[in-house]
Amino acid sequence: MKTEKIAIDKRGYYGEFGGAYVPEMLHANVKELQDCYLEVLADPAFQKEFRSLLKNYVGRPTPLYFAKRLSAKYDTQIYLKREDLCHTGAHKINNTIGQILLAQRLGKKRIIAETGAGQHGVATATVCALMGLECIVYMGKLDIERQAPNVARMKMLGATVVPALSGNMTLKDATNEAIRDWLSNPSDTHYIIGSVVGPHPYPDLVAKLQAVISEEILEQLPEQTGRKLPDAVMACVGGGSNAAGAFYHFINEPSVQLIAAEAAGLGVHSGETAATIALGKPGVLHGSRSYLIQTDDGQVVEPYSISAGLDYPGVGPLHAHLAATKRAKYFPVTDEEALKAVVELSRLEGIIPALETAHALALLREIKFKKEEIVVICLSGRGDKDLETYMKYLM
Ligand SMILES: *Cc1c(COP(=O)(O)O)cnc(C)c1O
């Protein structure tokens, strides 16, 4: 496995973003992870088990698909990296497989997680069933109501779903509850964070587990195009894990443009938005320093997006760094633009994307590529979980 493509220092900073801001009671847990994660990731026995499960359980490598009709429409060469074909329907399981193997090596018996749309909750409940470990998923009460099918899936898999009743009763509040649980059960519990957020080492750990996405693109692209590198890689950013995985092996290749979409909700200046990089200022949330949508006196602003998976007021510190250094570009995309992109991909390619993913697809209308340029889009997940929303807005 290729690693060390991203400059992160010993304390978990990418430039001025990152770090590990945790309560005293969790220092030991976080330190344990910091001390062991690189060694575990490099261990051949871990790699063997991880790779075997990715292949035979998740269904990797996922296809790199040339989208012919979409390419004709935008007069360029568009390839879709099909993470929607992973077991459970999104890229999230790449990370939960890796973290459950790490938790086993640490002797943890109890797994906790937070979830928004329920995709990370389902991916966590799935690997807990696979390994026979207890699983508790925190989820905002509002999200439990609006994402009923994923709540049912988690229960089928044997997980306990606990409602978070504070704040907007969405992802941020579920994360607060998960951290509270970890504080009360530090010794036997591993917290599987679902994106490249949280205290060091989580952002780096999750990025390295998701890096399989760009590792496969590097193998598949030459076979299909005769070219070693694409001209651009695009992805949507909530916390930023599918984008981190898709960008990872291209970060030190300056000829490859890195382009991401964040959720603008009803519009960047509407007050109903989750466009963290457009609006955020440096601050600390859930254990790391990054951009954060906040008031002048530092209160977190409740975010909004039609897509529960992007409805978060922060962003992973790696992305804050890539944005600050201008290595990657971040564009806000509204609910309406995303919904248009959902219909377009469904009708042109016979693929119904997740709402989150549609934010990345919507950028094709905004960014003009040359005819011969190769653009890889990370198709982070499938749209089954969003059908009710699609019916409501589109039919
Ligand atoms: C959770 C999710 C996202 C957003 O999370 P990232 O960590 O930013 O990748 C994007 N797409 C899908 C399909 C998801 O389930």
pLDDT at 286 over 60: yes
pLDDT at 52 over 60: yes
Strands of 288-292's sheet in order across: 13-14, 17-18, 288-292, 281-285
pLDDT at 223 over 60: yes
Which residue's CA is the closest to the ligand 1 atom numbered 5? 238
Report the chain's mean pLDDT, rounded to a whole number: 95
Give the architecture (CATH level 2) of 23-55+92-206. Answer: 3-Layer(aba) Sandwich (3.40)
Nearest CA among 329, 372, 378, 324 for reference residue 356: 378
Domain residue spans of the chain: 23-55+92-206, 59-89+211-394
Cα 242 to averaged position of ligand 1 atoms, centre (Å): 6
Catalytic residue among 71, 81, 83, 92: 92
pTM, two decimals, is 0.97
**Whether 122 contacts 88, CB under 8 Å:** yes
Which residue's CA is the closest to the ligand 1 atom numbered 13? 381
- 394 torsion bin: left (phi>0), alpha (psi -120 to 50), beta (else): alpha
| Sequential DSSP letters for 171-195 | HHHHHHHHHHHHHHSTTTEEE---S
Tell me, yes or no, if 114 is annotated catalytic.
Answer: yes
Tell me how far apart the 2 most distant CA atoms of the chain are, in Å. 57
Reported as a pLDDT band with limits 50, 70 and 90, residue 6 is confident
Which residue's CA is the closest to the ligand 1 atom numbered 10? 356
pLDDT at 64 over 70: yes
pLDDT of residue 1: 40
Substitution site in 212, 241, 322, 342 for ligand 1 pocket (most atoms within 8 Å of beta carbon)? 241
Over the Cα atoms of the chain, what is R_g? 19
Substitution site in 147, 192, 356, 378 for ligand 1 pocket (most atoms within 8 Å of beta carbon)? 356
Q: Give mean pLDDT, residues 216-229.
A: 98
pLDDT of residue 2: 45
H/E stretch holding 77 reads strand 77-82
What is the SS3 assignment for 114? strand
Which residues are near ligand 1 (CB < 6 Å)? 90, 92, 117, 119, 195, 236-243, 309-310, 354, 356-357, 380-381
Of 374 and 171, the structure prediction assigns the larger pLDDT to 374
pLDDT at 193 over 60: yes
Which residue's CA is the closest to the ligand 1 atom numbered 15? 119
Cα 273 to averaged position of ligand 1 atoms, centre (Å): 17
Angle among Cα 139, 119, 32 to the nearest 5 degrees reads 75
Reported as a pLDDT band with limits 50, 70 and 90, residue 360 is very high
pLDDT at 199 over 80: yes
Q: Give mean pLDDT, residues 237-259.
A: 98
H/E stretch holding 46 reads helix 44-53
Q: Do domains 23-55+92-206 and 59-89+211-394 have the same CATH topology?
A: yes
Tell me, yes or no, if 307 is annotated catalytic.
Answer: no
What is the SS3 assignment for 319? helix
Render pLDDT for 101-114 as a digit per residue (tens, 0 to 9).
999 999 999 999 99
Catalytic residue among 83, 114, 349, 356: 114
CA 278 to chain centre: 19
CATH classification number, 59-89+211-394, choose in 3.40.640.10, 3.40.50.1100, 3.40.50.11540, 3.65.10.10: 3.40.50.1100
pLDDT of residue 311: 87
- 59 torsion bin: left (phi>0), alpha (psi -120 to 50), beta (else): left
Distance of alpha carbon 142 from alpha carbon 390, whole angstroms: 19
Least confident among 45-59, 138-152, 224-238 = 138-152
Cα 33 to averaged position of ligand 1 atoms, centre (Å): 24
Cα 355 to averaged position of ligand 1 atoms, centre (Å): 9
Cα 354 to averaged position of ligand 1 atoms, centre (Å): 9
Cα 96 to averaged position of ligand 1 atoms, centre (Å): 13
Reported as a pLDDT band with limits 50, 70 and 90, residue 5 is low
User: In the chain, pLDDT over 90 holds for what percent of residues?
Assistant: 91
**Whether 348 contacts 69, CB under 8 Å:** yes
Reported as a pLDDT band with limits 50, 70 and 90, residue 167 is confident
pLDDT of residue 68: 98
Reported as a pLDDT band with limits 50, 70 and 90, residue 57 is very high
Ligand 1 nearest atom to the CA of residue 84, by list position: 13
